[in-house]
Amino acid sequence: MPTVQPPNGTRDFYPTELARRRYIERAWREVSVQHGFDEIDGPTFEHSELYAVKSGEGILSELFMAFSGKDKDEKLRASLAEGRAPLALRPEFTPTLARMFAARAGELARPTRWFWQNSCFRAERPQRGRLREFLQWNCDILGDASPQADVEAIACCVGLLERLGLTPADVKVRYSHRTALGALITELGVDETHQDAAFVLLDRRDKLDNADIEAMAFEFGVHSVAFLNFLKRPRGRDSGTIDAALDSTPLEVRALATLLLAPLEAVGGELASAGLEAWCEVDLNVARGLAYYTGMVFEVHETGGAMRAVAGGGRYDKLIETFGGPATPAVGFGMGDVVLGLVLADRGLLPDDKSVRAALGLRPGAFVISNGTPEADALLTPTVSALRRAGVHARRSGKSTKNVGKLLKDAGDANARFALIIEGADEATLKDLDIGVQTKGPRGAQIDALKAALGA
């Protein structure tokens, strides 16, 4: 008997789990389309060099490597012996997006608005909220440098949260600005070579106490006392407005912190214009781990509970050129299905299986039953076939019982809209299972009535 377990950190989706996944995926898709994004996709694996271009060290150390088992050449064997392989399963979609945009940059519109949803793979240690294969949704606007585009990305993300029933009491978009923070960090005495380290420190400060932050800064070689004071300013989220965020900065850097004012206000103004103020807060600790962000950055966090991050993104104006394309301003975000699913479940926002299936259009229109006579039995297959060919979602029982009552219970368990009970060669009973009303009549007319009721 072979292994009957799926690989560690992956999931089997039986119909109930699959329907729940499709419910989230459909929301991703429809919200993206509403917001004017076009869907794209790329290969599940890429040449592994593609990920060396810009993915952070964290991602690179967690690649799933792949190779063709058919390929027997010496060079492959040599690199495998060193733990490298020519291909890698995508750990994120952005490198593929950048490659695809760069390849057709000349013919693509400005802005180009793309969304994507599919699996990503990371060889992380599986834990609650983290899997080795997960679904990811990305939306990106390429070729638009305006704060309006920043906010269109945020608006699409909020559109998804709102559609799934979340409110600003559940989740908040916390935003900041990398360029502005970078200028502030420089003014605080951190030199160019330590900027990335400073962003990592900013990113972590909410999770660490002052002693740990100082130890980490020492380890990174970040010695600016002014920057350390900025890091050590009182914990807890800034209260969300731009003024409050600036007020929370230590007195000695407050003058410098006004560097942040103009870019954050530009974003804030557009957020107000799009009616998103209630969802969004300034947060100077949002720096994003990845090195490629260049402007506005944001994360969506739970406001209470585990404070998990549901989504994140920002502006990355230099990335397309890194992949051989023309200089192209770009902004986007990503959201995974795992944390989102946990957040929705904790709040009772994942509908039950029956509701999910109905929402996805999976409810059977007709459940066809024979009354047990030989004539009716012989008509079961042709009737089911005819209904299906007419576009009706038609089912019948898998049970061998001839008991109409039991078969009607099967119809109810399947949540069918109607039951059609064939009564011999010429008659049939059509039962509306939602309201319980039933009528008897000629079989052909009943089938027509059923098709008409279902719009088939």
Query: Which of 128, 354, 389, 440 touches a second copy by CB under 8 A?
Result: 389
Tokens of 324: 């051989």
The reply to whether 225 sits near a second copy by the rule CB under 8 A is no
The reply to whether 394 sits near a second copy by the rule CB under 8 A is yes
The reply to whether 53 sits near a second copy by the rule CB under 8 A is yes
Tokens of 57: 């060290």
First to last CA, the chain: 47
Distance in Å, CB of 236 to a second copy, minimum: 31
Secondary element (H or E) of residue 440: strand 438-442
The reply to whether 22 sits near a second copy by the rule CB under 8 A is yes
Distance in Å, CB of 69 to a second copy, minimum: 4
344-383 binders of a second copy (CB under 8 A): 361-362, 364, 378, 381-382
Choice between 189 and 424, CB closer to a second copy: 424
The reply to whether 110 sits near a second copy by the rule CB under 8 A is yes
The reply to whether 438 sits near a second copy by the rule CB under 8 A is no
The reply to whether 151 sits near a second copy by the rule CB under 8 A is yes
The reply to whether 420 sits near a second copy by the rule CB under 8 A is no
The reply to whether 455 sits near a second copy by the rule CB under 8 A is no
Query: Which of 23, 159, 182, 312 touches a second copy by CB under 8 A?
Result: 159
Query: Which of 205, 396, 431, 443 touches a second copy by CB under 8 A?
Result: 396
Which residues, listed in sequence order, are joined to residue 136 by a DSSP beta bridge? 118, 336
Q: If you ran DSSP here, which 8-state letter would residue 126 be given?
A: P
Choice between 188 and 411, CB closer to a second copy: 411
The reply to whether 50 sits near a second copy by the rule CB under 8 A is yes
Query: Which of 26, 133, 206, 303 touches a second copy by CB under 8 A?
Result: 133
Please give the radius of gyration of the chain, using alpha carbons only, rounded to the nearest integer.
28
Distance in Å, CB of 282 to a second copy, minimum: 20
Looking at 38-46, 190-198, 201-209, 255-263, which segment touches a second copy (CB under 8 A)? Answer: 38-46
The reply to whether 196 sits near a second copy by the rule CB under 8 A is no
The reply to whether 300 sits near a second copy by the rule CB under 8 A is no
The reply to whether 174 sits near a second copy by the rule CB under 8 A is no
Q: How far is CA 276 from CA 163, 173, 269, 281, 440, in A?
A: 14, 10, 10, 10, 55
The reply to whether 33 sits near a second copy by the rule CB under 8 A is yes
| Residue ranges with strand state E in 221-263 | none
Looking at 92-100, 260-268, 425-433, 443-451, which segment touches a second copy (CB under 8 A)? Answer: 92-100
Residues in the chain: 456
Choice between 18 and 226, CB closer to a second copy: 18
The site string for a second copy over 260-299 (x = CB under 8 A, - otherwise) reads ----------x--xxxx-----------------------
Sign of CA dihedral 288, 290, 291, 297: negative
Looking at 71-79, 190-198, 230-238, 296-304, which segment touches a second copy (CB under 8 A)? Answer: 71-79
The site string for a second copy over 309-328 (x = CB under 8 A, - otherwise) reads --------------xx----
The reply to whether 62 sits near a second copy by the rule CB under 8 A is yes
Tokens of 382: 């042709």
The reply to whether 426 sits near a second copy by the rule CB under 8 A is no
Q: Cβ(296)–Cβ(177) under 8 Å?
A: yes
- Count CB-CB contacts under 10 A for residue 36: 13
The reply to whether 336 sits near a second copy by the rule CB under 8 A is no
Q: Cβ(175)–Cβ(281) under 8 Å?
A: yes
Q: Provide the 3-class DSSP secondary structure of residue 428.
A: strand
Size of the site for a second copy (CB under 8 A): 101
The reply to whether 216 sits near a second copy by the rule CB under 8 A is no
Query: Which of 222, 246, 392, 411 touches a second copy by CB under 8 A?
Result: 392
Neighbour-count burial for 200-239, b at 16+ CB within 10 Å, e otherwise: bbbbbbeeeeeeebbebbeeeebebebbbebbbeeeebbe
Tokens of 300: 């969506």
The reply to whether 67 sits near a second copy by the rule CB under 8 A is yes
| Residue ranges with strand state E in 240-295 | 280-282
Q: Cβ(371)–Cβ(440) under 8 Å?
A: no
Taking every pair of C-alpha atoms in the chain, what is the biggest distance, in angstroms? 92
The reply to whether 87 sits near a second copy by the rule CB under 8 A is yes
Distance in Å, CB of 36 to a second copy, minimum: 4
Q: How far is CA 293 from CA 115, 171, 269, 316, in A?
A: 19, 23, 21, 5
Distance in Å, CB of 438 to a second copy, minimum: 22
Q: Is the peptide bond before 91 cis (omega within 30 degrees of 0)?
A: no
Q: If you ran DSSP here, which 8-state letter would residue 287 be given?
A: -
Q: Cβ(19)–Cβ(360) under 8 Å?
A: yes
Tokens of 396: 């019948």
Distance in Å, CB of 198 to a second copy, minimum: 27
